[in-house]
């Protein structure tokens, strides 16, 4: 998977890979690719300083050289959108990476051990499902103070069951396949069989589920930032931008908030579609 977008892959092979996720999936992958690129280089290509309040007297006004004009605090909207891509996507990235690590470890342990251990883990996951991530994040902000870090930690834990449940199902199915038994009778350790055989063979569903969760995490983190408990102003972040420019919606100047919202929605939808296509492809292979 990691090499698929690299330059080492021949264009024809890349095209064949993309064809397995369909045209809509391909568009989604391209949208995500562009968003990821901006997240990496965004802060360096802003035409103006995203935190400069030069246009403080020109709130919500357009101005030459400012593509989307000024925001509520007289900052360049376009520059803030570019710079905001990084903070908006970094949080979900960490959430997904952390919940995958934790979720996959729990799922494979449960599928491998089975029996009572599996029953206990599965019940614990079902209970964990009941906790809404965003409420926990608000609670964490109350305890540890507002900020991206607390929100990311809490959401990582809250999303772990979503990964673990799906992967457990897949791993359980894989575990019962004869080739796993054949490895066992060769005297190979459980650890090795899990890491080198079981894990790679459930990686498809892990990637699919992780992609979908990325979208969810992005919405949750933007919402947490919107209510002021996540990314703190004046940092550029799409959720923060919606919050900062909300008065514009009332006075007929919705563009700064709407643009930030569109960026968010566009990327989230792309992640959802791609996640769903990857899951469907994975199911097709099985």
Partner 1 sequence: MSALLEIDDLVVRLPVGGALRPVLRGIDLRLDAGEALGLVGESGSGKSMTARAIDRLLPRGAETSGSIRFDGDEVTTLRGADLRRFRREVSMVFQDPRSHINPVRRIGDFMTEAVIAHGTMSRREATALAIELLGAVRITNPTERLHRFPHELSGGMLQRVMIASALMGSPRLLLADEPTTALDVTTQAEVMAILDELRRERGLAMIFITHDLELAAAVCDRTAVMYAGQIVEINTSRHIEHDPLHPYTSALLRSRPRIDVTMTRLEAIPGQPLSSFEAPDGACAFAGRCPHAADACVTAAPPLVDVDGGATRCSRVDELRGTLHGVDT
The residues that touch partner 1, with contacts defined as CB under 8 A, are 114-115, 177-179, 181-189, 192, 196-197, 200-201
Query: Rounded to whole angstroms, how far apart are CA atoms 6 and 29?
Result: 14
Q: Residue 15 or 195: which CB sits closer to partner 1?
A: 195
Beta-bridge partners for 66: 63
Nearer of residues 13 and 196 to partner 1, judged by Cβ: 196
Smaller CB separation from partner 1, 102 or 180: 180
Please state the closest distance from residue 14 (CB atom) to partner 1, in A: 20
Instruction: Give min distance, CB of 271 to partner 1, in A.
Output: 26
Task: Give, in order, the Cα–Cα distances in Å from 18 to each of 14, 130, 206, 250, 273.
Answer: 6, 36, 18, 43, 13
- Scanning the chain, the segments in alpha helix (DSSP H) are 11-19, 22-45, 77-113, 115-129, 133-144, 148-175, 178-185, 190-193, 199-226, 238-244, 246-250, 255-285
CB nearer to partner 1: pick between 200 and 234: 200
- Tally the residues of the chain: 286
Q: What is the sign, positive or negative, of the torsion defined by CA atoms of 16, 17, 18, 19?
A: positive
CA distance 111 to 212: 23
Q: How far is the CB of 276 from partner 1 (least distance, A)?
A: 24
CB 2, min distance to partner 1, A: 16
Q: Shortest approach of partner 1 to residue 74 CB, angstroms? A: 57
Kindly give, in sequence order, each residue whose CB lies less than 8 Å from that of residue 202, ignoring residues fewer than 6 positions away: 104, 108, 167, 170, 171, 174
Tokens describing residue 240: 């923060």
Of residues 64 and 187, the one with the C-beta less far from partner 1: 187
DSSP letter at 231? S
Smallest distance, partner 1 to C-beta of residue 189, A: 6
In the numeric block, the tokens 């965003």 are attached to 134
32 vs 206, beta carbon nearer partner 1: 206
Could you tell me the smallest distance in angstroms from the CB atom of residue 279 to partner 1? Answer: 19
Residue 70: strand, helix, or coil:
strand
Nearer of residues 37 and 196 to partner 1, judged by Cβ? 196
Residue 4 Cα to chain centre, angstroms: 19
């Amino acid at each position: 998977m990691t090499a698929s977008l690299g330059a080492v892959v021949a264009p024809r092979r890349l095209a064949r890979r993309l064809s397995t996720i369909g045209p809509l999936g391909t568009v989604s992958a391209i949208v995500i690719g562009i968003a990821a690129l901006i997240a990496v280089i965004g802060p360096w290509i802003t035409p103006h300083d995203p935190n400069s309040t030069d246009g403080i007297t020109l709130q919500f006004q357009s101005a030459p050289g400012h593509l989307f004009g000024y925001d509520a605090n007289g900052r360049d909207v376009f520059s803030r959108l570019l710079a905001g891509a990084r903070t908006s996507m970094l949080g979900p990235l960490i959430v997904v990476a952390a919940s995958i690590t934790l979720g996959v470890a729990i799922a494979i342990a449960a599928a491998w051990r089975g029996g009572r251990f599996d029953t206990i883990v599965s019940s614990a996951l079902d209970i964990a499902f009941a906790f809404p991530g965003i409420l926990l994040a608000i609670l964490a902000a109350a305890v540890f103070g507002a900020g991206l870090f607390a929100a990311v930690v809490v959401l990582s834990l809250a999303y772990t069951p979503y990964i673990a449940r799906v992967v457990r199902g897949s791993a359980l199915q894989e575990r019962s396949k004869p080739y796993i038994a054949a490895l066992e009778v060769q005297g190979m350790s459980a650890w090795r069989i899990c890491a080198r055989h079981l894990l790679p063979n459930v990686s498809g569903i892990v990637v699919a589920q992780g992609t979908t969760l990325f979208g969810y995490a992005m919405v949750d983190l933007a919402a947490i930032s919107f209510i002021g408990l996540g990314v703190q102003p004046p940092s550029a972040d799409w959720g923060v931008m919606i919050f900062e420019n909300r008065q514009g919606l009332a006075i007929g100047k919705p563009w700064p908030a709407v643009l930030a919202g569109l960026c968010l929605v566009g990327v989230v939808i792309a992640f959802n579609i791609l996640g769903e296509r990857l899951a469907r492809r994975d199911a097709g292979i099985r």
